[in-house]
Structure 1
Amino acid sequence: MVHTVFIDGAAGTTGLEIADRLAGREEFEMVRLNDAERKDEDCRRSALNYADFAILCLPDDAAREAVAMIDKESGTRVIDASTAHRTAPGWIYGFPELVGPNVIAGADRVSNPGCYPTGFLALIAPLVRAKLLPRDWPYTVNAVSGYSGGGKGLIERFEGEGSNIAFRSYGLGLDHKHLDEMQRKAGLEYPPVFAPAVVPGFRGMVVEIPLAIRAMRNAAAAADMRDELARYYENSPLVTVHDARSEVSELLLLKDAAPSDRLDLYVFTDKDGDTARLIAVLDNLGKGASGAAVQSLNLMAGCDPQAGLHI
């Protein structure tokens, strides 16, 4: 069966990569609009209601407007890559490793996880569920990402002539839009203190959660956390929990990194087990954006779950 797919926002970084991943796949037929049609509301409305699947690669307000254009009787199923619906009622969170692939397969409305929350939740959510970490701890998150996650404007700032940016810290108002998503999906009492930054590499990210285990109530040993994560993801083709004891504890983001939909998790600890660093390494455009959308699309369309992914 051939499914029609319309990418609303296909000219952006995420949309372009999704289109590239779907190119040549016989299961899908792309619904395309030219430049003038993309700016015409009636043309967009027609495409959104014609397609079997609409993938939204838009700013939040535009994504909400697009969803409002879709008639219930059209049967169009939606994957939203924006922040707009990640905690909205009636939307399924598009993280199959956390919510279950069958849940996403049967969904009509799926919201892509954020790139930073993907790393944070992959580490924290299973450990909180297993009661190896407390819900009421004030977690902190230190993270760096490639500049592609900031869209065309930030890409131009980093790649423009005379650019001298080495490290861009942001979210200094401590009200980052990912906070609600991170808190709710991990089941935490408090939002984390989130310190994101951008470095001069195009893609890739490192998300780190430092833990003062000795000061925490009801926190498990770091080795038990690692074992639980390994058990939780043992059947996942995308997620690898590494044995940090036998691997070089240096994590690198490469400026010329190839696209990847992998998610690599690490648990490092000191010799006494008093402190730990939980670290996730992923591609902000892969498992953190376009790859996640394709993974959800595969499940919803009943295709090979790994088709179009870089593993």
Structure 2
Amino acid sequence: MKYKVFVDGKDGTTGLKLFEYLSRLSDIEILRIDPGKRKDPEERSKFLNAADIAFLCLPDSAAKEAVSLVKNEKTKIINASTAFRTDKNWAFGLPELKNQRELIRTASRVSVPGCHATGLILTVRPLIEAGILQKDYPVTCYSVTGYTGAGKSGIEEYENPELAAAKNLHVPRHYALHLNHKHLPEMQLYSGLLYEPLFTPIKANYAQGIAMSVPLISRSLPKNYSAKDVHEVLATYFESERFVRVMPFDSEAYLDEGHFLITECNNTNRLEIFVFGQNDKINIISRYDNLGKGASGAAIQNMNLMLGFDEGNGLAC
């Protein structure tokens, strides 16, 4: 049996990557809308209601419109936009969280986490559940990400040599400096924090790959936990997971003369967590592909669960 899949918004980075994944799957039939009618609500409605799974790779307002067009109760929706990520009527598509996999399997509406949120939640939530990190801890975090995370316009900007030179895009750029990044609500809700983290994203001149860093000070924790204590909790939490790996505590062998390699998980659905530290200083870094586990790979992982496939169907570890 082939399942019918429609990607609404296939021209963005997430949509294009989804098509790449889906085209490899023999048990999937991709429904293709006429490019000239892709913004026609009536035509979109036909395709949305004909699909077993509909992926929404759209701005928030367009994603909400797409949901309103679905009248067929059999159509399951996987949303890749910010819309609905904190809506309790939608399952949050991060299977590696405790009890989340079963919610996704039985859901008809699933929201894929934001790329930055994925790394933060997977490092903080297990520590809160274990009692190592208190819910009111003033979490700070920062990420370094490739420019594909900025979408189609960002890619065009960075890959235009004249524009890149004029805007000095060869150097990293901090952004969201008003501390209102759109991933903050889901970061707080699904990590279990009482307050939003102080988050600073940094965009750099390379295509894809993300590193999310979460520093902790052990003297501010409930007990004087060490970096090794943190590592052991994370390693136990994810020990049976296929796509989330906690790397050895002595991780010098994975560095390049002391430098962290951000892009080692590119073109996979893998997320790797590292814990570094000494004395009362701890630094947790997760690395993954912002187009893989941070977007389209996670969407496919959720689809596999919702359709009863093997979770890794079509995905590289």
TM-score (norm 1): 0.95
2:194 aligns with 189
* Alpha-carbon shift at residue 243 of structure 1 (Å): 1.5
1:17 aligns with 17
**Aligned partner of residue 251 in structure 1, secondary structure:** coil
CA contact (8 A) 2:228 2:249 kept: no
Q: Any idea what the Cα deviations from partners look like across 1:43-75, whole Å, max 9, x if unmatched?
A: 00111111011000001111111001111x441
Within 2, Cα distance between the matches of 1:87 and 1:304?
27
1:306 aligns with 312
CA contact (8 A) 1:54 1:78 kept: yes
* Alpha-carbon shift at residue 219 of structure 1 (Å): 5.8
* Alpha-carbon shift at residue 239 of structure 1 (Å): 1.0
Q: How is 1:74-153 mapped onto 2 (pairs within 5 angstroms)? A: 74-98=73-97, 99-153=99-153
1:252 aligns with 261
Q: Any idea what the Cα deviations from partners look like across 1:262-310, whole Å, max 9, x if unmatched?
A: 100011111x2x1100110010000000000000001111112111112
CA contact (8 A) 2:78 2:110 kept: yes
CA contact (8 A) 2:6 2:32 kept: yes
* Alpha-carbon shift at residue 187 of structure 1 (Å): 1.2
2:283 aligns with 277
**Aligned partner of residue 33 in structure 2, secondary structure:** coil
Within 1, Cα distance between the matches of 2:260 and 2:202?
16
* Alpha-carbon shift at residue 246 of structure 1 (Å): 4.4
Within 2, Cα distance between the matches of 1:104 and 1:252?
32
* Aligned pair partner of 2:297 in 282, 291, 299: 291
* Alpha-carbon shift at residue 36 of structure 1 (Å): 1.2
CA contact (8 A) 1:6 1:30 kept: yes
**Structure 2 gap ranges (5+):** none
Within 2, Cα distance between the matches of 1:176 and 1:280?
19
CA contact (8 A) 1:140 1:194 kept: yes
Within 1, Cα distance between the matches of 2:117 and 2:41?
32
1:266 aligns with 274
CA contact (8 A) 1:299 1:305 kept: yes
* Alpha-carbon shift at residue 217 of structure 1 (Å): 3.2
CA contact (8 A) 2:226 2:282 kept: no
* Alpha-carbon shift at residue 218 of structure 1 (Å): 3.9
TM-score (norm 2): 0.93
Amino acid at match of 2:298: A
CA contact (8 A) 1:134 1:219 kept: no
Residue 19 and residue 87 in structure 1: after superposition, are their counterparts in 2 closer, same or farther (change >3 A)? same
2:178 aligns with 173
With 242-251 and 277-286 compared, the bigger mean Cα shift is at 242-251
Identical pairs, percent = 42
* Aligned pair partner of 1:233 in 235, 238, 242: 238
Equivalenced residue count is: 307
* Alpha-carbon shift at residue 24 of structure 1 (Å): 3.6
* Alpha-carbon shift at residue 130 of structure 1 (Å): 1.1
With 216-225 and 98-107 compared, the bigger mean Cα shift is at 216-225
Residue 258 and residue 205 in structure 1: after superposition, are their counterparts in 2 closer, same or farther (change >3 A)? closer
2:228 aligns with 223
CA contact (8 A) 2:266 2:288 kept: no
* Alpha-carbon shift at residue 244 of structure 1 (Å): 3.1
1:66 aligns with 66
What is the aligned-residue RMSD (CA, Å)? Answer: 1.5
**Structure 1 gap ranges (5+):** none
